Amino acid sequence: MSQYHAPVLDQGGQGMTSQRARDRLVTLLREEGIRDARVLEVMRTLPRHVFIDEALAPRAYENTALPIGFGQTISQPWVVARMTEALLEFGTPAKVLEIGTGSGYQAAVLARLLPGVYTVERIDELLRQARRRFRALKFDNIRSRHDDGMLGWPAEAPFDAIILTAAGEVVPQELPAQLAPGGMVLGPFGPADRQHLLRFRRDAAGVLQQEDLGEVSFVPLLAGTR
């Protein structure tokens, strides 16, 4: 399947939010092992500074996580790029569910590459902010929901892939049943001091096979809504 190109308005920026700053970030991501040219191009063109508070905009293209309120963060760019690359490694999924919308940045990266992105957020105000960003950037292939992400989005299942942007001990029990045949679950798992990015792929017998993609650091995955 070819790359999906959702439209993105020019959000040029100046100084620390300029295109030059984005290019430097992409150079760093490449040096840190990101190889997928499609992912690097999205990271180069998508304006990360519009997904954070204006006061933090000068730090938008640093390779670091940043606070977005409510005890949450926008993930480190390398982590976003690595998760996206891992999602695309075996082909381009047509329909992906994201658990944890947060600022909306990961969903926006996916929406530049995939036909359909569904995203669930438990914190209502964060979701409201993310939706405003999606509208401003003219994404028409992102659907969002305020709900407990542990439950997934069964009414829209099955999904070719499910990506979690917060860390849990195990895969929430409701999610595997929402995967299409051959689908995958990708996310950080483990205790706070030993989180690993894990990819679970269904084999021919329908069993989820686990792959460890390395150490990461995420905020915890929580149940409920607020």
Active-site hit among 75, 103, 144, 217: 75
Contact 6, 46 (CB under 8 A): no
CB-CB contact of 117 with 98 (8 Å) = yes
The residue with tokens 């995939």 is 114
Catalytic annotation present for 75? yes
Alpha-carbon gap, residue 43 to 47, rounded angstroms: 8
User: What sign does the CA torsion over 79, 44, 100, 141 have?
Assistant: negative
Helix, strand, or coil (residue 11): coil
Distance between CA atoms of residues 81 and 117, nearest Å: 16
Q: Taking Cα atoms as reference points, which of 207, 194, 99, 200 lies closest to residue 147?
A: 99
Give the E-state strand segments of 55-178 in sequence order: 66-69, 72-74, 95-99, 116-121, 142-146, 159-164
Give residues with Cβ within 8 angstroms of 79, minimum separation 6.
65, 197, 216, 218
- The residues carrying an active-site annotation are 75
